Structure 1
Amino acid sequence: MKKVTGIGGIFFKCKDPKKMTAWYQKHLGLPANPYGASFEWYEGDDSTKKAQTQWTPFPETTKYFGPSAQDFMINYRVENLEALVEELKKEGVTIVDKIETYDYGKFVHILDAEGNKVELWEPKD
């Protein structure tokens, strides 16, 4: 079973997300949107299938990265999230929450070997 298919997003804490987004937009040309910046690309296995990676600064007070104490979280694109979660449970991986479904895909959070929160995303491209 193919597990991770790419990086879905890079999320990090900062003092002022709006100021940080504006800085990156001005100095590095990131295409800002209300959630940070999105980078579109085409999948290697199917060069006709468009995908995206999200870059998002969060307020330093966010609880979204909990229970991890880290100031960052990586989102990985995956295929067949339900099957992957079942496999991870069998392997003893900590599943933080239940799978949630939105119009843009399914999400769940796990903890890696050092307790960093990792977001898994099955996109609905």
Structure 2
Amino acid sequence: MPVLGMGGFFFRAKDPGALSAWYHQHLGIGPTSPDEYAWSTRGGPLVFAPFEATTDYWPADKQVMINLRVSDLDGLLQTLRDNKIEIITDPEWDTPESGRFARIHDPEGNPIELWEPPA
């Protein structure tokens, strides 16, 4: 196969500069300056999965949901709480096979799933 992996994730924003700064400040992702355009990721596989158009897994008015692999979900959630970012959790989402999950939304309402894979 000629495809080696994900090369980028692009989405519209009302204020791209402010949204980039929010992602960098609260999640540590994205370029660190306007002169940069890439972010080197670590971790494991990337799930590529179309969902039914009628899914209720994330808000119906949003076309996509970002899923971010994290290494310390509890620590990140505490940092987000300290920064007054609303967090959604559900014990039913967490399983020994798939790991642990939490959800947040960026300032423009885009859903972000935080995923800590199983050890």
Coarse TM-score class (shorter-chain normalised): 0.5 to 0.7
In the TM superposition, what are the counterparts of 1:63-82 in structure 2 within 5 Å?
Answer: 63-66=56-59, 69-82=61-74
In the TM superposition, what are the counterparts of 1:1-125 in structure 2 within 5 Å?
Answer: 51-66=44-59, 69-98=61-90, 100-102=93-95, 103-124=97-118
RMSD: 2.5
Deviation at 1:87, TM superposition (A): 1.0
Instruction: Please tell me whether the aligned partners of residues 108 and 121 of structure 1 are also in contact (alpha carbons under 8 angstroms).
Output: yes
- Structure with more relative contact order (C-alpha pairs < 8 Å, separation 6 or more): 1
Q: Which amino acid letter does the alignment assign opposite residue 71 of structure 1?
A: Q
Q: Which amino acid letter does the alignment assign opposite residue 113 of structure 1?
A: P
Classify 1:71/1:116 alpha carbon distance in 2 versus 1 (closer, same or farther; 3 Å): same
Structure 1 stretches of 4+ with a deviation exceeding 3 A read: none
Structure 2 unaligned runs (5+)? 1-5, 10-40
Structure 1 unaligned runs (5+)? 1-6, 11-42, 45-49
Q: Which amino acid letter does the alignment assign opposite residue 91 of structure 1?
A: N
TM-score (normalizing by structure 2): 0.57
- If each structure's strand is expressed as a fraction of its own residues, which one has the higher value? 1
**CA deviations over 1:1-22 (Å, ceiling 9, x no partner):** xxxxxx9xx8xxxxxxxxxxxx
SS of 1:57's equivalent? coil
